[in-house]
Amino acid sequence: MDLTRTEVAKAGTSRGSATARLALMAVPVAFFAVFFAYPVAAIVARGLKIDGSWQLGRIVDVLAQPDVRHVLWFTTWQALASTALTLLIALPGAYVFARFDFPGKQVLRAVVTVPFVLPTVVVGTAFLALVGRGGLLDELWGVRLDTTVWAILLAHVFFNYAVVVRTVGGLWSQLDPGQEEAARVLGASRTQAWRRVTLPALAPAVAAAALMVFLFTFTSFGVVQILGGPAFSTLEVEIYRQTSQIFDLSTAAVLTLIQFAAVAAILAVHAWTVRRRETALRLVDAATTARRPRGTGQWALLAGVLVTVAGLLVLPLAVLVERSLGAPGFGYYRALTREDGGAFLVPPIEAIGNSLQYAVAATVIAVVIGALAATALTRRDAGRFVRGFDALLMLPLGVSAVTVGFGFLIALDEPPLDLRSSWLLVPLAQALVGVPFVVRTMLPVLRAVDVRLREAASVLGASPWRVWREVDLPMVRRALLVAAGFAFAVSLGEFGATVFIARPDNPTLPVAVARLLGRPGDLNYGQAMALSTILMLVCAVALVVLERLRPDRSGEF
């Protein structure tokens, strides 16, 4: 049977779409190959390859060391404990944000989200001001929790509270309350109705949130580095110690492989739970499910959540600001403008400009690479190759940032990739972490675009670039701005890789804070508090902009 002109055009469009998709994938694949796979492979090979032969037995030798087994145990144990504690404390908050409507709810939502976008160095510094030597608890009651596991666990809850509230609360707000009410009419108690109706529906979101919290705490670096002291080390901290202090690259390489395997498994399970959450439920408009609290119990629950937010999330940040103002006449802030000839070759205040410049450059790189990748992934039926490409984009979340940073120094030191003296080294490392956030922000919006609009434009003769410019871009412009905001916030606070590659005359804010905390004296401590406060304010401003740009789509984090 003869094909019609339209069918021929559509067939040509399909072939052209596949070719265009491969072309779009080429740039992100090349970027990740050169600036991620190559540096990581270089440091692993440097650690496990001796005299041209692989020493795979070194893996067994490293795992047999008692210190390494202790690090593995503590990394897993504290991640499990942090995840359980976060769920216990944050689930009531998720319910309040999902089901209650009260004055100041949007402001409180922004307050809850601020800790998540803060750099881990700021989180560690804030809790150091609260529970450390000379901190608020030490001054009031003589209680110190720094260098204890409780300080680490509470800081992890502080950082991940918003993950549970936004992920679980977003889905909870879209569940039809009529289903639970129907179970009550049929004779079920309130507890039975929640356990048999609501809990099974929420289970995928709870599992997704728990896995994400576990991922963040399993790879924790800045918080443990500042609060843990010499007694506690996660895999990430131990990789940093083996690399920068002991110079044992073989042990660092083995630990990197272990962390990568563990995080890859976590990401695989997380992807499965997200697919369940997306396909298993019929949801309603979130705006129809929230109502004013009723009765003493609900008002008490709201009050309890407000007290938790004030005590756990607001108080550490308030103490951080208060400590930064400890010297008369903004003395700690004024001290940032002076050279000290010690940890810095320039006044610490210059770290602000450096961080902003690096973050802007990293954001541009991450948005370009991420937008190309998200566009290539728009087709759901793209096949295994493209699904593998999707997994590739998440790999930077599964490999130690410390390994990536040190790998940059080892691999990118010869022409044509001799970048060790280039300022681009820092934003390139930061962009690697920003790309996954850009892809995850843009991909759902791109997939929501009616494919028939693209086909119609192609049939009418539009090139793939014009189709994207005329059809996709107007619909995803807001998502693109949100993605840029997330990439900027993530780049601004990146610490694990930057601590290796930021030059002494161009420190970033997180690196400057860590260096100041590592030096004795009240002046250095106060300057660290001041820089952390500045970094917190910049991230908070970025969050406010994000909240204004983000469409009101509950369930998206």
In the 8-state DSSP scheme, what is residue 142? -
Higher pLDDT, 266 or 435: 435
CA end-to-end distance (rounded Å), the chain: 50
Q: Which of 166, 155, 177, 261 is nearest to 212 (CA)?
A: 166
Q: What is the pLDDT of residue 110?
A: 78
Q: Distance between CA 276 and CA 279 in Å, rounded?
A: 5
Which of 13-17, 216-220, 417-421: highest mean pLDDT?
A: 216-220
Higher pLDDT, 51 or 293: 293
Q: Which of 518, 242, 224 is nearest to 507 (CA)?
A: 518
Whether 49 shows a pLDDT value over 50: the answer reads yes
- On whether the CB atoms of residues 94 and 169 are closer than 8 A, the answer is yes
Higher pLDDT, 337 or 377: 337
Q: Distance between CA 294 and CA 177 in Å, rounded?
A: 15
* DSSP codes joined into one string, 418-437: --TTSTTHHHHHHHHHHHHH
Per-residue pLDDT, averaged over 235-252, amounts to 86
Q: Distance between CA 321 and CA 413 in Å, rounded?
A: 41
Q: Distance between CA 159 and CA 366 in Å, rounded?
A: 23
Query: In 3-state terms, what secondary structure has residue 329?
Result: coil
Higher pLDDT, 22 or 89: 89
Whether 540 shows a pLDDT value over 60: the answer reads yes
- What pLDDT, in 10s, does the model give residues 165-175? 888 887 777 77
- On whether the CB atoms of residues 161 and 109 are closer than 8 A, the answer is no
Q: What is the pLDDT of residue 300?
A: 92
- Judged by average pLDDT, the poorest of 199-213, 289-303, 454-468 is 454-468
What sign results for the dihedral spanned by CA atoms 311, 316, 320, 321? negative
- Alpha-carbon separation of residue 477 from 328, 436, 468 (angstroms): 46, 18, 11
Which residues, 6 or more positions from 149, have their beta carbon under 8 angstroms from its beta carbon?
Answer: 78, 81, 232
Whether 80 shows a pLDDT value over 90: the answer reads yes
Tokens read off for 94: 């998720």
Which uninterrupted H or E stretch holds 54? strand 53-54
Whether 211 shows a pLDDT value over 70: the answer reads yes
- What pLDDT, in 10s, does the model give residues 465-484? 676 667 666 767 777 887 88
Whether 448 shows a pLDDT value over 70: the answer reads no
Q: Distance between CA 397 and CA 210 in Å, rounded?
A: 16
Q: What is the pLDDT of residue 242?
A: 87
Whether 128 shows a pLDDT value over 70: the answer reads yes
Tokens read off for 65: 């060391």
Per-residue pLDDT, averaged over 188-212, amounts to 77
Per-residue pLDDT, averaged over 247-253, amounts to 84
Per-residue pLDDT, averaged over 237-252, amounts to 85
Per-residue pLDDT, averaged over 381-410, amounts to 73
Which residues, 6 or more positions from 112, have their beta carbon under 8 angstroms from its beta carbon?
Answer: 93, 97, 161, 162, 165, 309, 313
pLDDT band at 339 (very low <50, low <70, confident <90, very high): confident
Q: What is the pLDDT of residue 357?
A: 93
Q: What is the pLDDT of residue 552?
A: 47
The 3-class secondary structure across 505-533, one letter per residue, is CCCCHHHHHHHHHCCCCHHHHHHHHHHHH
pLDDT band at 388 (very low <50, low <70, confident <90, very high): low
Percent of the chain with pLDDT over 90: 14
Q: What is the pLDDT of residue 553?
A: 45
Query: In 3-state terms, what secondary structure has residue 49?
Result: strand
- What pLDDT, in 10s, does the model give residues 150-163? 889 999 999 899 88
Higher pLDDT, 272 or 387: 272
Higher pLDDT, 426 or 441: 426
- Judged by average pLDDT, the poorest of 36-50, 52-66, 282-296, 428-442 is 282-296
- On whether the CB atoms of residues 436 and 444 are closer than 8 A, the answer is no
Tokens read off for 508: 């970033």
Q: Distance between CA 255 and CA 242 in Å, rounded?
A: 10
- Judged by average pLDDT, the poorest of 218-232, 415-429, 462-476 is 462-476
Q: Distance between CA 248 and CA 38 in Å, rounded?
A: 20
The residues that bridge with 53 in the sheet, in sequence order, are: 50
- On whether the CB atoms of residues 343 and 515 are closer than 8 A, the answer is yes
At 49, give phi and psi (nearest 5°).
-115, 120
- What pLDDT, in 10s, does the model give residues 503-539? 878 888 888 888 888 888 888 888 988 998 998 888 8
Q: Distance between CA 156 and CA 83 in Å, rounded?
A: 8
Which of 20-24, 142-146, 377-381, 402-406: highest mean pLDDT?
A: 402-406
Higher pLDDT, 103 or 378: 103
- What pLDDT, in 10s, does the model give residues 348-362? 888 888 999 999 999
pLDDT band at 307 (very low <50, low <70, confident <90, very high): very high
Q: What is the pLDDT of residue 73?
A: 93
Per-residue pLDDT, averaged over 257-276, amounts to 75
Higher pLDDT, 327 or 460: 327
- On whether the CB atoms of residues 493 and 120 are closer than 8 A, the answer is yes
Neighbours of 534 (CB within 10 A): 20
Q: What is the pLDDT of residue 489?
A: 82
Whether 8 shows a pLDDT value over 50: the answer reads no
Whether 425 shows a pLDDT value over 80: the answer reads yes
Whether 454 shows a pLDDT value over 60: the answer reads yes
